[in-house]
Amino acid sequence: MRKAERYEQVVEVVRRKGFATVEDLSLRLGVTAQTIRRDIRALSAAGTLRKYHGGAGLPALSEGVAYKTRKIRNVEAKRRIGAAVCALIPDGASLFIDTGTTCEAVAEALTVRKGLRVVTNNLHVAQHLAERTDFELAVAGGFIRNADGGVMGDPAAAFLAQFRFDAAVIGISGIDTDGTLMEYDHREVLVTRAALRRARTAIVACDAGKFGRPALVCLGPVTDVDTLVCDAPPEGPLAAAIHAAGVRVVVA
């Protein structure tokens, strides 16, 4: 395999998984660990990837991928995840739906339900559900994040305190290998934590590209979650952390 082709494959694996170990990349590409380490150093120097102890991850911790890019990424996987979450939500349920394109896919899937009572801090989710006349829909007030229509900050978090949800459906920017749920925006974390406190059950909806992906802000431990809905099963230390926490994993 030529070096350029190998670089492309390394980058593709890391982008898909969020983080990849040297051992994993070595097995996948059929080359030595020493070769992978050299590749990671070169890709890190070019700013394509970020070098971490034992592997490589995505380059930026302080900001997420642009909304327009996320909207068209892993579309089919997100649709499957949305349908799988929908299967967990009965007619007439009360729920919170978080920001993010995967949560928007959940909202699209939920239009087959009847009589839902939905609170969201996601303007796109509200738009998807607004035409359902049998749904009760409330949108948290606060500061709008222009990039993706998320409603952020203390006012939005305070708004959620008056509700009690059967379920909170949340998205995440990453889940570290020890099971820590991660986000890029501390203002978003305020709202999500408030929703989790008011929910009887917590469902994380995310694609496998979030596994092992580091981000700047800790949302909380995986023990705060009851169900993880994803498009591929977690592996390695992350799988062990999720199992130890007693979290149900649903693979769509």
59: pLDDT strictly greater than 70: no
Question: How far is CA 205 from each of CA 43, 99, 151, rounded to the nearest angstrom?
Answer: 30, 11, 19
> Residue 50 forms beta bridges with which residues?
57
List of long-range contacts for 140-149, beta carbons under 8 Å, 24+ apart: 140/191, 142/191, 143/187, 145/99, 145/185, 145/187, 145/188, 147/66, 147/67, 148/67, 148/70, 148/99, 148/100, 148/101, 148/124, 149/99, 149/122, 149/123, 149/124
Q: In the prediction, which pLDDT does 116 show?
A: 97
Non-local CB neighbours of 1 within 8 Å, separated by 6+ positions: 9, 29, 30, 31
Mean pLDDT of the chain: 89
Q: Do residues 227 and 201 make contact, with C-beta atoms less than 8 angstroms apart? A: yes
Domains, in order of start, for the chain: 3-57 (1.10.10.10), 67-251 (3.40.50.1360)
* H or E segment to which residue 106 belongs: helix 101-109
250: pLDDT strictly greater than 60: yes
92: pLDDT strictly greater than 60: yes
Q: In what order do the strands lie in the sheet with 19-21?
A: 19-21, 55-57, 50-52
Give the span between the Cα atoms of 8 and 5, in whole angstroms. 5
62 pLDDT tier (thresholds 50, 70, 90) = very low
Give the span between the Cα atoms of 188 and 122, in whole angstroms. 11
Give the span between the Cα atoms of 172 and 189, in whole angstroms. 10
- The single-letter DSSP state of residue 153 is S
Give the span between the Cα atoms of 33 and 27, in whole angstroms. 9
Task: State how beta strands 136-139 and 55-57 pair.
Answer: unpaired
Q: What is the pLDDT of residues 178-210, one digit of tens each?
A: 999 998 888 889 999 999 999 999 999 999 888
Q: What is the mean pLDDT of residues 138-162?
A: 91
Q: What is the pLDDT of residues 3-50, one digit of tens each?
A: 888 888 898 888 777 788 999 999 999 999 999 999 999 888 766 788
Q: What percent of the chain has pLDDT over 70?
A: 93
**Burial category of 72 from C-beta neighbours within 10 Å (exposed 0-12, middle 13-18, buried 19 and up):** exposed
Question: Phi and psi for 131 in degrees, rounded to 5?
Answer: -80, -10
